[in-house]
Structure 1
């Protein structure tokens, strides 16, 4: 899929019909949009302290983990994996 630079990975996914949970409505207050950037990780700006703190709570954390609501697409291609599970304390889809 194509995404405009400056768009978050979450917004790009949603715009292309890819379901990615975001229980906190993109406010960096949960980890439901946790994803793993398999290629192109270096093109992303570093996570800030708030995102890093939230990532510490994510299931299946890896060194290339990011929150989709915070990771902003640059001009490099990305390959992203959506983990099979997430920690969702406020799921609307039971």
Structure 2
């Protein structure tokens, strides 16, 4: 089981920790199941960069970055070395640990 802490760059939003998260689901799925608003224009199929997040801790607990994902991260707003697409961060089977994710300020998508 995993514990995932979601932090937010957007002002006024407090961190949210989700405990006892089962493996084999994406960070995006976990966020949506727990009413955390995380944009995902393509529906989570690695065809855009709107579900872009920063993995602050626990990057070894999710699937590795693919070439396709890396191509889309290059198109994200303010990509960093720890940037990932949350739809592609699948929690490793049989694993456990703590993951910290920061959601970039998503107010730039309000006009979409």
Q: Specify the TM-score bucket, using the shorter chain as the normaliser.
A: 0.7 to 0.9
Corresponding residue pairs, total: 91
Deviation (angstroms), 1:44: 2.0
Tell me the TM-score normalized by structure 1. Answer: 0.86
The residue that corresponds to 1:77 in the other structure is 98
Aligned residue in 1 for 2:27: 9
- Runs (5+) with no aligned partner, structure 2: 1-17
Quote the RMSD (CA, aligned, Å).
1.9
**Larger Rg computed on CA atoms:** 2
Residue ranges of structure 1 left out of the alignment (5+ in a row)? none
2:48 matched residue in structure 1: 30
